[in-house]
Every structure is written in C-alpha cells, then in structure tokens.
Structure 1
C-alpha cells in the first residue's frame, strides 16, 4: 500500500478546498471501486477527501415529481425508496440487479456514476492500456474481449464497456447531474456526462478538476408509463451485464405514444437507442416491428471477435424487454 493523506470534510466548500490543496486528490464516497483500484496499485492518489459528512444523503421529491438524489445516497436506499419503486421501477430494478447486497449498502449514487471500467487489461497493472497509460495501446481489441468489452461506441484506442446498471436506467429516464467545484456550480445532462473513448479514452467523464457531484435530479416520470430493466449475463448474481436494456414505454391504445430505450453491457457508455425509439414511436407494435426496432438499437455495432455475440444479445435484450412490457 502506498502512503496517502486522509482528510474528512465537514462542508462542500471545505471538500473542494481540500481537493485543491494537493495534487492527485480523490473524493472518497462509498469506496467500492476506488479502494479496489488502490489495492491493485492502478490508482495512486496523494490524498483522499472523505465526503460522508456533507449532508448529501437525502432523496427529495419535488412538487413537479422530479426527484433530487444526493450524491451519498446508497444504492440500496435509492432502490428501496417507495417513490422510486412506484414511479421509476426501471431504476429500482437496475440497482437491485447490480453487485451484491453488501456492496449496494455501501455504494453511492455519485460513486456508481464515476465507477471505472472492468477491463482486465486496465486492472492488471502490467498490460498496455490507453486508459491507464495514454498511447500504450489497447490489447483488448485483438485479445480477451468477451465479457466486459463493447460493440458500440468503441474506437481503435479502447473498447471497454461501461459497467453501471444504474446509469443505463438514468439515461432512459432522463436526468441532470449537479456539480460544484472551484469555479462554482453547473449542471450537465446525464446523457452527456459519460464520454466516448475516441482518441482520449482516459477522459471518461465530463467533469472538471476538483469538481464534486452533489446531486442527480431525475426528469419527471412520464404519465401513464410502464418501465423495466432486463439484464442478460452468464449467471444471475454478482456479475456485470453482457447486454442489458432499460425501457420506459407509454401506450396510446394499441400504439406507442412515447418510448425511451437505453442499452448497457454492449457499449462504452450508457447508450440511448434513439434509432430504435423512432422505429416504434407512433406505431402499433407487432413482432416484426419489435425485431426491426431491436436491430435498429444495435446499428453501428462492431464485433471484435469474442464479443461478437453481443450484437445479437443486445437485440434480444431490447426485444424481450419490450415484449414483456407489451404483454
């Protein structure tokens, strides 16, 4: 274990000041990813700033139905909240499908958003990896890439899949991330917060140095909507998605009035499948139309060998979830 400083902030302003006071400082929330990476010697912070005492552990429901979630709200608390279960079931289901009970009790909303990829080449500490050592290459492209590598949104520099279930549901719902840092407060639409790898895969989030996620605000639930999260994986507990879908659906008689579809497990960021939505919106869904929408959801997908099966599995994640919601 490498030496590091530990500071416990009592206010948001103090946390930001502490972060600015030393190079290579990291905020400590639940720590379920950060501490693992420190033990693996992948992340080497000079200082940890503990943010447990900042009062960011509340879930507030506004008069307009929007939900404001504190950065330190645990995954378990969010998944079990009565308003979330009733009005955002897709989010509750996504959270409960991830990790284990013990980890959900510890993991936080902001930590889930900021978690790093599970690519073995990134985490082994010795392989070339553009996320860890810019310019060193991406061995996953021609190497072991079955489980946690993407067929959507990748580049020649990185194909690691985004690991979060919660984030996929939030992209389907629609949300805004509130940030506070040395230059004040700002908001970022949730769908724009996670970045595609492009030529700079080490830049994973639209966050500036020293900024702290304080809250996530969910869009109001769609009236008369139904929603669900489907996660496909090799085993049914404690495993990351091979492919997943979060769908929010509103029907008008037999026709689709509105629909939102997001994908996980197959992409380098939580993936909004707007092409699939366009196929279904305003139409009466038939088995053939559902299959067309599922195919549209995977438009642009690229196989890298072992993970090629995810193209069809991603389609199944959409068609099976949608068929269940329509039944």
Structure 2
C-alpha cells in the first residue's frame, strides 16, 4: 500500500520542479511562421520553428545565409516590416511579442530584450560621442538621475572589460577599434538590464583575437548575470566554443537541435553533417574544401516534406511527404527519416 502523504509530496515536488523550469525560460518561440505576401507569390521565410532559451544559457542558431536566422531574431523584438505576416507565439520574459502594441514593444526593447548587431559602426551614430549615446539609451529605459546614468554607463563599460571607461565615453565611434565598438554596443545593451540578449553575428567583422575576447566576455556575462543569449552565426567554431545548445536552421526550419557536444559529436541530420564538412580541418594536410551540392530552395515554392531532400544523398520517397521530429538523446532531436546516427 502506497503512503498517500508520500504520493502527494512527490506530486508537489514534480509540480514545483516544472514551475521552476517554466520560470527559467526567458525566450519561448512556438510555431513561428514569417511570410511576405506578394502580388503573384508569397515568400515563406520562416516556417513553424520552436525555440527556447533559459536563464544563464547560450543558444546558437546556425545555418546558411538566407535560412531565416536574422528574421527569427527580429521577430523576437517585434522589428518586422509591416509587409511581414507573423503566425505562432513569441514570448520574451513572459511577455507576448506578437500582437503587442508599440508602447509595449518600446518597453520590451532594452528592458526585456536587447540586440547587438554584426557591424557596430552602423549601430552607432557617428555624430555623437559614445557617452552621449549610452546616456540617451539608459535614460530612455531607466528612471535615473544624470549622475546615476553616467555611473551606470561606466559600470557597464567596466563589465565588458573596456580599458579606461571615462575616456571611452568621450570618444566618437570612428576613434575606436572594431573590438572596442562591439564592447560599447554590448555595454549599452547590458546597461538597460535585459533578461535576453540577441547577438546577430557580432564577431563576423572582427579578427580572430578579438573574436576570442568577445566570446569569453559573452560566456562570462551569461554565467555571472544569469543572462539568456540567442547567438546567431554561421561560424560553427564559434558555436562550439561559446554555446550550450545549438539549433540548425535550413530553409526557414529548424532541422536539428540539442546540446552542442551531442550535436557536433553525433550529427543526425544529413544537412548538419554536410554543414560541418564545410569547415576546414587544421593539421591534416592538403584537403579538398567541402561544399553542399545543389542550391537553397526557392522559399516562394519550398519542396514538399523535408526541404533538404533535393540536395540529400539519403533522401527516399517518404522524405518528399513529411519531416518528422525524432528524439535522439536528452533534448537532442532531428527532423529526418534517414538519420546518420542510430536511435
């Protein structure tokens, strides 16, 4: 006979654990679809993707150019053009983004979520000092005095390891290096105390040494400030050294997702394996440069079933009908009938 008190205590513990897991979620994307209607055709840029990012976690979103990575990021902040048609649900820190009013989105951007872009020079106004721009952003999102705003700007620059923060505030963007500008943009985002940081290929324009510094900085921020980070890139090396989990996108869909170690060690989807094969391997002598044959599909008329089937050597008849989500390990799944690994 089961002791009822033990039974109910177990149920309560499970309920509490599920509640804690739900509270840890900062970004929840469910069935997100982004399309652009035209006169003769509709471009289906993002097609029913699901993503989750927890506090203190870094999720890498990878894929070829045109796979829908940046559109997914823009959707998380409600930055889509009026012509775009969004379906599904996007929640940031518990707030629904789809359908939110302009005033609600203004509060969300900066306070709930912030974004850093690939080219920091274009993100900053060349006619104003770094300090002026940081003060304006902080003052817009937080009710602080001028002295407190300046102190917060200095503190944020110190948090990103900017040398001589007071001098940095007095400089114009053109007086700083690419690495310094990227630190400024990150500091500006952090000064508003966001729960989610979206980084859209922030290391692409930087040299390898500065890339390593930015990667180490983002890992430190995620760990120390419990910051959730959505990191968008096409660089698998950066994902391997920075991210906790990875989601692989192709033709507007997530085709594989899981912990970085599992996905890179045991890639299941043929596209993931092909993508990893395009990365040159150092120390192995002369070798042909890998590539994926074929072309990215026309998103106005994507292939039926798995979008990768026209380029896939393992494709069979059922691949033209559907692309099932098959579980491989803990939080690791792939949308493929003929996976590389054995389940």
| TM-score scaled by length of structure 1 | 0.23
Which structure would you say has the larger RCO, counting Cα contacts within 8 Å and 6 or more residues apart? 2
- Higher radius of gyration, 1 or 2: 2
